[in-house]
Structure 1
Amino acid sequence: MLDRRFDDLQAPDDFPLAILAKAPLLGRVKTRLIPYLGEQDAAQLHEQLLRQTLVVALKATSAERIVLWTALDHAHPLFLELAEHHGIALLPQPEGDLGLRIHHALLSMPGPGLVIGSDCPVLSPALLSHCWGALQNADGVFLPAQDGGYALVGTHHSNIRLFENIDWGTEHVMSQTRQRAQELDWDIVCPAEVWDVDRPEDVERWVLSCKEPPNGYA
Structure 2
Amino acid sequence: MPLLPKSKNLLLIFTRNPELGKVKTRLAKTTGDKAALDIYKFLLEHTKQVTQNLSCDKAVYYSVKVRENDIWDASVYQKHLQDGNDLGIRMHNAFQQAFSTGYEKVVIIGSDLPDLTSEHINKAFEKLNSNDVVIGPAEDGGYYLLGMKKLHANIFQHKDWGTSTVRKDTLNDLQNESVHLLETLNDVDVFDDIKNNPVFNQFLN
TM-score by length of 2: 0.87
Letter in 2 for 1:34: A
Q: CA deviation at 1:115?
A: 0.3
> What is aligned with 1:128?
121
1:165 to 150, 158, 165: 158
Paired residues, what number? Answer: 195
More helix by share: 1
Once the two structures are superposed, what CA deviation does each residue of 1:178-204 show, in whole Å capped at 9, x if it has no partner?
A: 11112xx21111021111111212122
Please list every run of at least 4 consecutive aligned residues from structure 1 whose deviation after the TM superposition is greater than 4 angstroms. none
1:89 to 78, 81, 96: 78
Q: CA deviation at 1:127?
A: 1.5
> What is aligned with 2:141?
148
* Map 1:79-118 → 2, pairs under 5 A: 80-84=69-73, 87-109=76-98, 110-118=103-111
Q: CA deviation at 1:111?
A: 1.8
> What is aligned with 1:5?
none
Mapped partners of 2:182, 2:45: distance in 1: 24
Moved more, 172-181 or 94-103: 94-103
Q: Alpha carbons of 1:121 and 1:100: their partners in 2 closer, same or farther (altered >3 Å)? A: same
Query: Could you tell me the percent identity over the aligned residues?
Result: 27
Q: CA deviation at 1:214?
A: 7.2
Q: CA deviation at 1:27?
A: 1.5
1:73 to 57, 65, 68: 65
Gaps in structure 1 of 5+ consecutive residues: 1-12
* Map 1:51-70 → 2, pairs under 5 A: 51-61=45-55, 65-70=57-62
Q: Is the 8 A contact 2:35 2:204 kept in 1?
A: no
Q: Is the 8 A contact 2:155 2:173 kept in 1?
A: yes
